Amino acid sequence: MLPFSSTKPSTSFFHFPPFLPSFFHSVSLPLLLNPPKSSHLRFLPLPLRIRSIDAAQPYDYESQLLSQHLKSQSLKIAIIGFGNFAQFLAKTLSRQGHTLLAYSRTNHGGAAKELGVTFYTNPHDLCESHPEVLILCTSILSSEKVLKSFPFQRLKRSTLFVDVLSVKEFAKNILLKYLPLEFDILCTHPMFGPESGKNSWVGLPFVYDKVRIGNEEERINRCDKFLDIFAKEGCRMVEMSCAEHDRYAAGSQFVTHTMGRVLEKFGLESSPINTKGYETLLDLVENTAGDSFELYYGLFMYNQNAMEQLERLDMAFEAIKKELFGKLHQVYRRQLFGTVEGSEERPKIQKLLHNGAPLEPSKDTMEQERS
C-alpha cells in the first residue's frame, strides 16, 4: 500500500511529497516504490520524462514505455569461460538487466545460477541460442586453443565478438585469424578486477579498440550499447589502438605486477613501525597477490614490449646496487687512506668489498637533511 493517501489507480495524477527530490517527480510513483531490480531507472533518457498523465487513463502507459526502453537497451550476451573474472563481470551485466549465457569447460553451473546466467555445458547449444554479443573470458594462454575449435558456424553471421584479455595486439591478431569475416570485433581491456573493482568501477580505465565494426547502423548501435555498460558504471573510457595499449601496459601494468610479485616473494610483512611508503608497498602486494601466475606470465609472454621493460627494471636495480657499492667503496678507501674513523661498521665494509678503485672523497656535509 502507498504510505500516503491515494485512492486513485497507480497512474493517477497527484502531487509528489516534498521530501522526494525533483528528479523523481517525472517518474511514476509505482516505479518509485517498486523499482525494477536493474538500476536502469537512473539512465532514463530525457525524452521519456512523463510530466503529467490523464487521471482516467486505464492503460499503464509509463510501465510499458519503461520496459520497452529497458528491453531496447539490454543485450543477449554469451560469456565463453566462466572463471573469476567472468563471474565478476557477469555480476554487473546481470544487474544492468542483460540476458546472459555462459559456457566453460569446467561446470560453473552453480555460480552461473546465482548470477542469473544460463549455463551451457555444450558450446553448440550456446551458439544455437544466437547471442548478439560473445565475450571471450578465458585466460590469455588458452584463448587461441578455444578459438580454434569454437563452433562459430552456429552463430548468426552478425555477431559482435569482444575479448577482455590483458594483452591486446595478440588478442586482435588471433581474433582476426580465427573469426568468420562477418563478425564484428571489439578488443577491450577493463583495467581492473575483482579486487580493485570490488566496490565501484568509477574512474577505473576501460580501454577499447573498435577493430572491425560493420557500417550498418544496427552493428554500430550494438557496439555502442556494449561500451555503454562500462560507461554507465563510471569507467574512464579510453579508446586506443591495441599496439598503443600494449606499449603503455608493459610499462605500467606489467611492471606493477612484477614489483608486486617480487615483494610477495621477498615476504613483505607488516611491522610495528610501517612508514607511509611501506604501506603503499603492502597495498601493492595485496592488490597483485590475488592474481594467478598464469595472468602474470600472460602479461609477460603475450606483450612484445614486456621483455624490454623487464630488462629496464633489471638494469635499474643493478644501477642502484652499483651506486650503493660504489659509495661503500669510496668510504672504505677513505677510511684506509684518509683519517681512520672509529665505527663498528668497518668489518662489514671489508666483507663486502672485492676489488680496488681510485679514491674519491665523498661530500658529507653536516647541513644535509637528517638521514
**CA-to-CA distance for 248 and 232, rounded, in angstroms?**
25
In what helix (H) or strand (E) does residue 135 lie, and over which residues does it extend?
strand 133-136
**CA-to-CA distance for 311 and 334, rounded, in angstroms?**
34
In DSSP terms, 205 is beta-bridged to 236
In this complex, which beta carbon is closest to its own copies, that of residue 24 or of residue 297? 297
Whether 186 contacts 160, CB under 8 Å: yes
Contacts of its own copies in 310-369 (CB under 8 A): 310, 312-314, 316-317, 319-321, 323-324, 327-328, 331, 341-345, 348-349, 352, 362, 364-369
Does residue 210 belong to the site contacting its own copies (CB under 8 A)?
no
| Number of residues this chain uses to bind its own copies (CB under 8 A) | 117
Contacts of its own copies in 125-164 (CB under 8 A): 137-146, 164
Residue span binding its own copies (CB under 8 A) among the ranges 25-33, 49-57, 114-122, 172-180: 172-180
For 278, left (φ over 0), alpha (ψ -120 to 50), or beta?
alpha
Does residue 114 belong to the site contacting its own copies (CB under 8 A)?
no
Does residue 166 belong to the site contacting its own copies (CB under 8 A)?
yes
The distance of closest approach from Cβ of residue 289 to its own copies in the complex, given in angstroms and rounded to an integer, is: 11
In this complex, which beta carbon is closest to its own copies, that of residue 53 or of residue 259? 259
In this complex, which beta carbon is closest to its own copies, that of residue 18 or of residue 203? 203
Residue span binding its own copies (CB under 8 A) among the ranges 10-18, 68-76, 215-223, 261-269: 261-269
Does residue 199 belong to the site contacting its own copies (CB under 8 A)?
no
Residue span binding its own copies (CB under 8 A) among the ranges 6-14, 31-39, 47-55, 298-306: 298-306
**CA-to-CA distance for 135 and 78, rounded, in angstroms?**
6
| Cα angle, residue 273 at apex, residues 268 and 274 outer, rounded to 5° | 50
Contacts of its own copies in 91-110 (CB under 8 A): 104-106, 108
Whether 296 contacts 166, CB under 8 Å: no
In this complex, which beta carbon is closest to its own copies, that of residue 59 or of residue 293? 293
The distance of closest approach from Cβ of residue 99 to its own copies in the complex, given in angstroms and rounded to an integer, is: 21
In Å, how far are 161, 364, 371 from 342, measured between CA atoms? Answer: 72, 16, 19
Does residue 243 belong to the site contacting its own copies (CB under 8 A)?
no
The distance of closest approach from Cβ of residue 75 to its own copies in the complex, given in angstroms and rounded to an integer, is: 19
Q: Which of 165, 160, 132, 136 is nearest to 148 (CA)?
A: 136
Does residue 124 belong to the site contacting its own copies (CB under 8 A)?
no
**CA-to-CA distance for 96 and 226, rounded, in angstroms?**
11
In what helix (H) or strand (E) does residue 258 lie, and over which residues does it extend?
helix 255-266
The distance of closest approach from Cβ of residue 54 to its own copies in the complex, given in angstroms and rounded to an integer, is: 51
